[in-house]
């Protein structure tokens, strides 16, 4: 990491980065570890979780413009976490925390059940080679983890520049009994709170179409 990124970890991590008990790997989460949002943010407020937050452009912008809500960035890329902390600090953002961990584990055990009012996944790695597509995050079974973390009526928002992955996301989530579409027509409108990131800009420059999706978590029985 660069000097600034090292500084981010030394000076800013104590405020922003959650201290997660690990299981086997560094980015794993111990299955018995549970986040306590009230203790972490010092209040009760709606919680928005971004999976694969990258450099943090979307979540820092959202957290600074929506001070009444709390935000959690989930990312495994250290330099991205450092950038996110530096930008959050510069913007004086206080309602944001970061977790350096594998997203499926955060959704399926670390977050308390029903804790998130929204889960965002923007430009998830497309793993575009045929032999790699099984590594995609949004694949059959993903809905269970996302539904566990979301509150009743909570929203799962997605965007991608990769057509084949967009089709897979829609097919997987349409088949999920715990979710229903929260959009009309083929694709959702661009989500207003989603700012342009480097990944989106790159996709557009390559002539790719950006597709948004939004699904609502059905109420628990
Ligand atoms: C293509 S980038 C998009 C980043 C950001 N959302 C944006 O739009 O700029 C995908 C990000 O997801 C992260 N990621 C991939 N798999 C992950 C996982 N299992 N848990 C947490 N983050 C993950 C990667 O490290 C990468 O930063």
Residues with CB under 6 Å of ligand 1 are 52-54, 74-77, 80, 102-103, 122-125, 197-199
Strand order across the beta sheet in which 116-122 lies: 96-100, 70-75, 47-51, 116-122, 150-160, 211-217, 179-181
CA distance 168 to 139: 7
Is residue 183 scored above 90 in pLDDT?
A: yes
- Calculate the CA dihedral of residues 34, 39, 43, 47 and round it to 10 degrees: -30
**What's the sign of the alpha-carbon dihedral 186, 191, 196, 199?**
negative
144-155 pLDDT per residue, tens: 999 999 999 999
Active-site amino acid positions: 125
Q: What spacing in Å lies between the alpha carbon of 221 and ligand 1's midpoint?
A: 33
Is residue 45 scored above 90 in pLDDT?
A: yes
Q: What spacing in Å lies between the alpha carbon of 204 and ligand 1's midpoint?
A: 18
Residue 126 sits at φ, ψ, to 5 deg, of -80, -20
160 annotated to bind ligand: no
**What's the sign of the alpha-carbon dihedral 48, 50, 55, 61?**
negative
185-216 pLDDT per residue, tens: 999 999 998 999 989 999 999 999 999 999 99
124-170 pLDDT per residue, tens: 999 988 888 899 999 999 999 999 999 999 999 999 999 999 999 99
Domains in the chain: boundaries: 3-217
**Taking residues 27-38, what's their average pLDDT?**
96
Q: What mean pLDDT value characterizes the chain?
A: 96
Pocket residue to mutate for ligand 1, from 76, 139, 157, most atoms within 8 A of Cβ: 76
> What confidence score (pLDDT) does residue 1 get?
81
pTM: 0.97
197 annotated to bind ligand: yes
Beta bridge partners of 42: none
> What confidence score (pLDDT) does residue 107 get?
98
Domain 3-217 in CATH: superfamily? Answer: Vaccinia Virus protein VP39 (3.40.50.150)
């Amino acid at each position: 990491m660069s000097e600034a990124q090292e500084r981010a970890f030394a000076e800013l991590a104590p405020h922003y980065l959650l201290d997660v008990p690990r299981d086997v790997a560094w980015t794993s989460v111990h299955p018995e570890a549970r986040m306590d949002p009230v203790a972490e943010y010092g209040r009760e407020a709606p919680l928005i979780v971004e999976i694969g937050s990258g450099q943090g452009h979307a979540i820092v912008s959202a957290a600074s413009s929506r001070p009444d809500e709390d935000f959690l960035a989930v990312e495994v890329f250290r330099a991205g976490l450092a950038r996110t902390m530096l930008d959050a600090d510069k913007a004086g953002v206080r309602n944001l925390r970061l977790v350096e961990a594998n997203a499926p584990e955060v959704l399926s055990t670390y977050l308390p059940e029903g804790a998130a009012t929204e889960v965002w996944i923007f430009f998830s790695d497309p793993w575009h080679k045929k032999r790699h597509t099984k590594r995609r995050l949004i694949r059959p079974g993903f809905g269970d983890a996302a539904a566990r973390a979301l509150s009743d009526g909570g929203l799962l928002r997605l965007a991608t520049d990769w057509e084949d992955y967009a089709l897979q996301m829609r097919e997987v989530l349409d088949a999920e009994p715990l979710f229903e579409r929260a959009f009309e027509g083929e694709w959702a409108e661009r989500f207003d709170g989603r700012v342009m990131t480097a990944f989106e800009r790159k996709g557009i420059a390559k002539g790719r179409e950006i597709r948004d999706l939004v699904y609502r978590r059905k109420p628990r029985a």
